[in-house]
Amino acid sequence: MKRLMTCIECPQGCRLEVEADGTRLISVTGYKCKRGQAYARQETEAPSRTLTTSVLTRGLELKMLPVRTSKPIPREKLFAAMEAVKRIVVTSPVKAGSVIAPDFLGLGVDLVACRRLEKA
Amino acid sequence: MKERQLVIVGGGPAGMAAALAARGAGVSDVLLLERDQHLGGILNQCIHPGFGLHHFKEELTGPEYADRFAARVRGDAGIEVSLRSFAVRLTPDRRVSFLRPGALEEVKAGAVILATGCRERTREMIPIPGSRPAGVYPAGLAQKMVNMEGWIPGREAVVVGSGDIGLIMARRMALEGVKVKAVIEIQKTSRGLVRNVVQCLEDFGIPLYLGHKVARITGRDRVEGVDVVKVDERFAEVPGSAFSLACDTVLVSVGLIPENELLEMAGGEIDRRTNAPVAPEVNLTSVPGVFACGNACKVYDLADWVTRDSELAGRLAAEYLGVSPA
């Protein structure tokens, strides 16, 4: 089955024409870089997204700390991940890249800080 | 009065890039004024990924992108960062007055770079008819509330305008458990990046109504809903096409306006339509020794291009000051 897809790897937003048999990729055209080709495969086999959100802090200079998953997670896990994020409170100073929750939800990715935050 | 070689107003991506580039081009004394308590500007609330693909060749979130520049700015002894400092006046001979906690200061600058960014266009500027209830927010304000303050503005939302901020906020609200009923766009195509239509709307099953407008906001004390109507090529309402959506929140994402009051005070020429400086080239203004960069100069869709052009502004200021790299 052929389907049209828009690559979301970068702001160029290449239009991809993807031929797939269920979740098996057969061919892809229309990409301008390797990332587009890889995106078509990933999106066909198992769509995944990087989650970015904010978590509460206590005793730090900002009320919320922006965080992200270190790698994309399965798209259908986004809401479960948001639930888990709401239970986290960060109380120690962090740097960009500091791990907030290792092996987040057992998905093999870490939840990491996106900025430096010092004590208030 | 204190004299400073270069004064930069605004510590967002534009101001930070200009400061670092000016230093690299031989400027030895930079005063960087930032009204917030942190460097980074609007990037601090743009917690989504999509930054840095060009400048750093990797995908970063807004705070990560800002953090890299802020670390370099803090580590540069030739840049004095003055936080919680709000510039209130600029004269044609480049005297800058600013408020900081407990003091009003005035400095004489050899050159000035205005990196003051944009404000959001509001509901009153489109305009959207109807009542004036609580629950109508510019999308960028809602972004700051959700991402930095942890306040969720409502339970059921409609987004007006399909600019990138609106699309990104539709996803953000959906992730936070808000029911996002629709994004309404008067044009025939989305104003935002295609990737944002895919990953912000399609991923979450949020309908995008192209060629539609909000005819009316209803509700007495709080928003109760919006009336939506289809428009034709001349943006006239199509009879019989109206429908209502119940919601308690409306996010308005209908563009940005460069913030150029300081330039105006200094007698600089400003385009009345766009509020951008009138100049033959990017980063220039009609006032000698006063430069404008980033969103204050023109509205950018990528922070990476703000960085690139603002670095040029830093070099232009160095050239104006007649300095060269050590």
Q: Could you report the per-residue pLDDT of B179-196, keeping only the tens digit for each?
A: 999 999 999 999 888 889
For residue B61, the model assigns a pLDDT of 97
For residue B286, the model assigns a pLDDT of 97
Mutation target to probe the B interface, by most B beta carbons within 10 A, among A115, A117, A119 is: A115
Is there a single domain that holds both residue A84 and residue A37?
no
Q: For chain B, how many structural domains are there in total? A: 2
Domain presence at residue A12: yes
Mutation target to probe the B interface, by most B beta carbons within 10 A, among A4, A7, A8 is: A8
Q: Could you report the per-residue pLDDT of A69-100, keeping only the tens digit for each?
A: 999 999 999 999 999 999 999 999 999 999 99
For residue A1, the model assigns a pLDDT of 79
Domain presence at residue B191: yes
Find the CATH number of the domain harbouring A6.
Answer: 2.20.25
> Taking CB atoms and an 8 Å limit, are B148 and A115 in contact across chains?
no
Q: Would you call A77 an interface residue with chain B, using a CB distance cutoff of 8 Å?
A: no
For residue B192, the model assigns a pLDDT of 87
Domain presence at residue B326: no
Is there a single domain that holds both residue B174 and residue B266?
no
For residue B20, the model assigns a pLDDT of 98
More confident residue, B73 or A23: B73
Q: For chain A, how many structural domains are there in total? A: 2
> Taking CB atoms and an 8 Å limit, are A63 and B301 in contact across chains?
no
Is there a single domain that holds both residue B143 and residue B248?
yes
- Secondary structure in 3-state letters for chain B: CEEEEEEEECCCHHHHHHHHHHHHCCCCCEEEECCCCCCCHHHHHCCCEEECCCCCCCCEEHHHHHHHHHHHHHCCCCEEEECCCEEEEECCCCEEEEEECCEEEEEEEEEEEECCCEEECCHHHCCCCECCCECEEEHHHHHHHHHHHCCCCCCEEEEECCCHHHHHHHHHHHHCCCEEEEEEECCCCCCCCHHHHHHHHHHHCCCEEECEEEEEEECCCECCEEEEEEECCCCCECCCCCEEEECCEEEECCCEEECCHHHHHCCCCECCCCCCECCCCCCECCCCCEEECHHHCCCCCCHHHHHHHHHHHHHHHHHHHCCCCC
For residue A3, the model assigns a pLDDT of 87
For residue B133, the model assigns a pLDDT of 97
Q: Domain boundary at B201, B228, B252, which?
A: B252
Is there a single domain that holds both residue B130 and residue B236?
yes
Name the residue of chain B whose CA is nearest to A79's CA: B175
Name the residue of chain A whose CA is nearest to B57's CA: A10
Q: Domain boundary at B252, B276, B308, which?
A: B252
Domain presence at residue A81: yes
Is there a single domain that holds both residue B74 and residue B174?
no
Domain presence at residue B10: yes
Find the CATH number of the domain harbouring A66.
Answer: 3.10.530.10
Mutation target to probe the A interface, by most A beta carbons within 10 A, among B56, B64, B180, B200 is: B64
pLDDT below 70 — which residues of chain B?
Answer: none
Is there a single domain that holds both residue B74 and residue B159?
no
Find the CATH number of the domain harbouring B216.
Answer: 3.50.50.60
Is there a single domain that holds both residue B112 and residue B202?
no
- What is the domain range of residue A8? 2-46
- What is the domain range of residue B191? 122-252
Is there a single domain that holds both residue B203 and residue B303?
no
Is there a single domain that holds both residue A74 and residue A34?
no
For residue A22, the model assigns a pLDDT of 86
Is there a single domain that holds both residue B142 and residue B165?
yes
Is there a single domain that holds both residue B139 and residue B178?
yes
Is there a single domain that holds both residue B111 and residue B13?
yes
- Give contacts of A61 with chain B, Cβ < 8 Å: 37-38
For residue B194, the model assigns a pLDDT of 86
Is there a single domain that holds both residue B312 and residue B233?
no
Query: Residue A8: pLDDT band by 50, 70, 90 thresholds?
Result: confident
Give the closest-approach CA distance of A23 to chain B in angstroms: 18
Is there a single domain that holds both residue A78 and residue A25?
no
The residues in A 20-39 lying below 8 A from B, measured between CB atoms, are none
Give the closest-approach CA distance of A102 to chain B in angstroms: 19
Residue A40 pLDDT > 80: yes
For residue A119, the model assigns a pLDDT of 96
Give the closest-approach CA distance of B48 to chain A in angstroms: 6
CA-to-CA distance for B175 and A51, rounded, in angstroms?
A: 10
Name the residue of chain B whose CA is nearest to A112's CA: B64
Is there a single domain that holds both residue B35 and residue B111?
yes
Which ipTM value was assigned to this complex?
A: 0.91
Q: Domain boundary at B252, B267, B298, which?
A: B252
